[in-house]
Structure 1
Amino acid sequence: MTRSLVFLTGLPRSGSTLLCNILGMHAQVHATPTSPLSSLVESMRQSWSQDAALLAQLDTGFEQVYRRLGRATRAFMEAWSSDTDQPFTVDKSRYWLFLVETLRELYPDFKMIVCLRDLRDIYKSIEVQHRKTLLLTFPGQLEQNLVEARATQLFAPTGTVGGPLRALANLNDVPDLRANLFFWRFETFIKDPGGYTEELLRWLGVQPATLSLERITQQTHESDSHYHFKFLHQVSPRLSAPGSFTDAHLSARILNDIVSRNAWYYRQFYRADGVVRLERDGAAPAASGTAEKPPERPASS
């Protein structure tokens, strides 16, 4: 039976766990919790790049040995995902977003789902949960008792949100990727969950099916203790719209700073016409132009 690997990635708190469990209800799809496969593939690449014997073989027979590396990597990935009867495996990892060029080298027609959400709602989700668990430290080395410091660290270039944001921006610099990517916006899903799910299934090439979004069964489980219960992954059986950042007592200054510092993100992924684009699709360059105005939801101080 032909099996297909689908890579699911994107921003934290953007609905990736929910989406995995919805896709996993389809008879043809096996969906994983956060998977180590992406980091294992990168570790292999780093390891053989430092192996003296392998480098010596590349000196004398580059094309043959390089093809062997590709075959071996694909064989490992496919063996890792072969213990299921379903023809589609959705492998979830935020790190896949950093490996798009490697994936295309291995699978020119690879398919990747990229989960997106309004950055202010991502921040709200994290900050509000932290307030419920103040007796547990915030993960990472940061001045966790300062609200602004937490936000700054989250959106820093190597932060929990900022790192994936940089990887998203990098997609603009890799040519001819658009056909490989499905940008799954959390807000679009909430507005039309059935229609949006059908659109995604068609894009994946999965047989059409009506999935019950009134009885979502959680099949994947994450280690919430690893992040000190700041990023919960519990899926509600019944789909409902979460509150927005305007429902929480968040600093308007911090929220406005998130938008202004990431204007390119709103310009590309939250356009007024609802179209999601990469720069190469004709969107304005990330370094210039005016950002699309985010939804009119005044923030509380």
Structure 2
Amino acid sequence: MQRRIHFISGLPRSGSTLLSALLQQNPRFHAGMSSPVAGMFSTMLGELSERNEFSVFINDAQRQRVLRGLFANYYDGEVDAEVIFDTSRTWCTRLPALNTLFPDARIIACVRDTAWIVDSIERLIRGNAFQPSSIFNFQTGGTVYSRAEGIANGDGMLGYAYNALREAFFGEDTSNLMLLQYDTLVSNPARALAAVYDFIGEPAFIHDFEHVSFDDKGFDERAGTPGLHRVHARVGAIQRQSILPPDVFRRFENDSFWRDPQLNPRGVRIV
């Protein structure tokens, strides 16, 4: 690619859409909600593997050119920005490949206390009482306990992303990784954005934290979850009481491993 590319990943309901909405204010940047590129990347990687009967004709150099070309072909002609941010929770599982394909790329992983992530998802479900959500395969039954269990398991919306984050954080390819905490982004967005710009090596830009806009109602409605990617016009922390039963909340309240300095021997930047 002739343009710079970076990646937004991390946990759901942790500020990735807000971060993208803010970055979009910079006319040099393109950012949005999760794109289909990561899915295409995974599919293409599989088709280039040994399960392809013609794989004998495919070497690693060709694989890299094809996968690198995927990004160029997806964005070229559609996006004029000089710097592109592609978003997917899958990118935390692809750090070795991304570091090889795009050595100058940075991966920003958005994180949040998992108890509050579960609370946020539960609020969405209850707020859309007449629309079954794709988060739970449009099933209409269940309780807060089964929903929490469903999103927390290894294939669930939260569990998969959490395991992917741990894979990235504790792996060897952390030089291009930064964790951005939700609490920092909403309580001190100027500090958060300054850290992002410093991390990606771009000149500072004055952002408007009082008038933030992002709209993808069509996607959210199709997913049966209106408000899934809603961003408030004004950036700020909202104090509220959890709607989760106390035992469900307690189950997740000690999951924020990134807050323990002893678990960060490689010095991953945490903002």
**TM-score band, normalised by shorter chain:** 0.7 to 0.9
- For 1:232 and 1:219, how far apart are their aligned partners in 2? 10
Ranges in structure 1 where 5+ consecutive residues have no aligned partner: 59-64, 283-301
1:39 aligns with 2:39: yes
- For 1:6 and 1:219, how far apart are their aligned partners in 2? 22
- For 2:4 and 2:215, how far apart are their aligned partners in 1? 20
Identify the residue that residue 70 of structure 1 maps to in structure 2: 64
Runs of 4+ in 1 over 4 A off after TM superposition: 219-222
SS in 2 for 1:90: strand
Identify the residue that residue 151 of structure 1 maps to in structure 2: 148
1:278 aligns with 2:267: no
Distance 1:95 1:155, change over 3 A: same
Match for 1:156: what amino acid?
Answer: N
Distance 1:221 1:111, change over 3 A: farther
Shift of residue 249, structure 1, vs aligned partner:
3.2
- For 2:140 and 2:214, how far apart are their aligned partners in 1? 35
CA deviations on 1:119-143 (whole Å, 9 max, x unpaired) are: 1111111112211222333433678
- For 2:91 and 2:42, how far apart are their aligned partners in 1? 10
* 8 A contact 2:217–2:226 mirrored in 1: no
Shift of residue 145, structure 1, vs aligned partner:
2.6
Could you say what the CA RMSD is over the residues aligned between the two structures, in angstroms?
2.4
Identify the residue that residue 85 of structure 1 maps to in structure 2: 80
SS in 1 for 2:175: helix
Shift of residue 220, structure 1, vs aligned partner:
5.8
- For 1:38 and 1:222, how far apart are their aligned partners in 2? 21
* Residue of structure 1 aligned with 2:131, choices 118, 121, 136: 136
SS in 1 for 2:157: coil
Distance 1:220 1:231, change over 3 A: closer
1:8 aligns with 2:8: yes
Ranges in structure 2 where 5+ consecutive residues have no aligned partner: none
* Residue of structure 1 aligned with 2:251, choices 238, 250, 257: 257
- For 1:279 and 1:163, how far apart are their aligned partners in 2? 24
Identify the residue that residue 52 of structure 2 maps to in structure 1: 51
* 8 A contact 1:269–1:276 mirrored in 2: no
Identify the residue that residue 98 of structure 1 maps to in structure 2: 93
Shift of residue 173, structure 1, vs aligned partner:
4.5
* 8 A contact 1:24–1:219 mirrored in 2: no
Distance 1:250 1:131, change over 3 A: same
- For 2:245 and 2:190, how far apart are their aligned partners in 1? 35
- For 1:132 and 1:179, how far apart are their aligned partners in 2? 40
Shift of residue 155, structure 1, vs aligned partner:
0.7
Give the structure with higher Rg (CA). 1
Match for 2:171: what amino acid?
Answer: V
Give the count of matched residue pairs.
264
1:23 aligns with 2:12: no
* 8 A contact 2:116–2:242 mirrored in 1: no
Shift of residue 147, structure 1, vs aligned partner:
1.8
Shift of residue 185, structure 1, vs aligned partner:
0.4
CA deviations on 1:104-127 (whole Å, 9 max, x unpaired) are: 232233311100011111111111
* 8 A contact 1:4–1:88 mirrored in 2: yes
SS in 1 for 2:250: helix
Distance 1:123 1:203, change over 3 A: same
Shift of residue 162, structure 1, vs aligned partner:
0.6
Match for 1:252: what amino acid?
Answer: P
TM-score (norm 1): 0.80
- For 1:66 and 1:135, how far apart are their aligned partners in 2? 49
Q: Percent identity?
A: 23
* 8 A contact 2:114–2:252 mirrored in 1: yes
Match for 1:33: what amino acid?
Answer: M
* 8 A contact 1:25–1:217 mirrored in 2: no
CA deviations on 1:200-239 (whole Å, 9 max, x unpaired) are: 1121122211111111132666611243216621212211
* Residue of structure 2 aligned with 1:209, choices 195, 205, 229: 205
